[in-house]
Structure 1
Amino acid sequence: MKFRSLVPGLALTLISGVAFAQTTAATGADAALAGPGITMGKTANGPLKYVNIQDSDLVTSKLVGVDVYNKQNEAIGEISDVVIGDGKSVIGIVASVGGFLGIGESYVVLDPSSVALAQDNGTWKAYVDTSKDDLTKAPKLDYSKLKK
C-alpha cells in the first residue's frame, strides 16, 4: 500500500516534534502519542526549532510493527499505522488483527489513550485491555475507502 509507506515518515515528523511542546518529560504512551499541534498548509506554526532525541524516546519507525498484547500477555495484533487527525495530533493507532502472514488480516483503529507502550527487555510492546476475540470483532478500517 502506498499509504502505509508514507505514514511512518509523517508520524515520525509528528512524534519527533513532541519535544517542542513538552514542559515536563512525558514517558511511555504519553511521550509517543502526544502531538505538538502540527498544521497542514504552507505556513509554519513558528520559527524552526531543533530537538534532542533521548534514548527513551520512541519514533514511529520503531512503533510500526510493535506487537500488541492483552493483560494475559498474549500477542493479539500488531501496530501497522498511525492516524493523524486534521494534521494536528495522533487520533488513532491502527492494529492488524487475525490472519496469517498478512493473509486474511483486518485492521482496527485504537484510541491512543487505550494503548500503553512499554519496553520489555529492550523490546517495545503495546498493551491493551481486551481479548483477541473482541479485537477481531471490533469495527474494521477499510484502507480502500480512505481518500488518496
Structure 2
Amino acid sequence: MKNIVITTLVASAFLAGPALAQDKTMQKPAADQAGQMKTPPAGTAMPSSADAMGGMTMADTATAKIKFVTARPADVTSSKLVGKNLYNNKNETVGEIEDLVIDNGKTVTGVVVSVGGFLGMGERYVLVDPASIFLHRADGKLKAMVDTDKDTLKNAPEFKYDKKNS
C-alpha cells in the first residue's frame, strides 16, 4: 500500500465541505457620484477579499452563485479529523482533535485538541498550529501525529472551548 504523508493541514483540505466562518468580513461601502458613502440595505452582505479568493463569507443571505470543486486525493475532510486521537512519535495518545478554527471562512488557523482527563472529566483544550500536525495514511486509515509529549500539551495555554455551544 502506498503511504501518503501530509505535512500540513491545508485549508483547502478542510473547506471541501461546509463550515462556518468566525465573523463577518467587511469592506468600506462604495461612494456614490457625489462622493458620499452608500450604506447597503440591512441584511446585505458586503463583498470581501474572501469572495475573490474562494473563502466563505458571513451574511444574512447568499448572494453568490454556487460553484463546485473537485477534491484532490491528498485532501482531507474535517469529519475525518474531528474525533481522531493525536499521537506523538512514541505512538502514545497525547490528545484528541475536537474541532478546527477557520479564519474568515478560508484558512484553518488552529486545531482544537482535548488533553488530559478521563471519561470527559478534567479535560481541557489547547489550540495547536495546524502546521505542527502531521497526517499519515496507511492501509486506508488516517493517523494524526505531533512531535510532543503529554506534559507539554497539558501545560500549554488553555483554549476556552465549549463543544455544546460552538
TM-score, normalised with respect to structure 1: 0.67
- Identity, in percent, stands at 46
Match of 1:82 in 2: 100
1:104 to 107, 122, 126: 122
Following TM superposition, by how much is the alpha carbon of 1:125 offset from its aligned partner in structure 2, in angstroms?
1.3
Give the alignment of 1:25-36 within 5 angstroms: 28-30=6-8, 32-35=9-12, 36=54
Indicate whether 1:125 and 2:147 are aligned. no
Following TM superposition, by how much is the alpha carbon of 1:114 offset from its aligned partner in structure 2, in angstroms?
0.9
Q: What secondary structure does 1:143 align onto?
A: coil
Structure 2 unmatched runs, 5+: 13-53
Higher relative contact order (CA 8 A, sep 6+): 2
Give the alignment of 1:1-148 within 5 angstroms: 28-30=6-8, 32-35=9-12, 36-41=54-59, 42=61, 47-53=65-71, 56-143=74-161
Following TM superposition, by how much is the alpha carbon of 1:78 offset from its aligned partner in structure 2, in angstroms?
0.7
Following TM superposition, by how much is the alpha carbon of 1:43 offset from its aligned partner in structure 2, in angstroms?
5.8
TM-score, normalised with respect to structure 2: 0.61
Query: When the two structures are aligned, how many residues end up with a matched partner?
Result: 118
After superposition, the C-alpha distances for 1:38-88 in whole angstroms (9 at most, x for unaligned) are 2323465x6432123456532111110111111112111110011112333
Task: Find the aligned partners of 1:131 and 1:120 in 2 and give their Cα distance.
Answer: 23
CA RMSD of aligned residues (A): 2.5
Structure 1 unmatched runs, 5+: 1-26
Structure 1 segments, 4+ long, off by >6 Å, are none
Name whichever of 103-112 and 116-125 sits farther off.
116-125
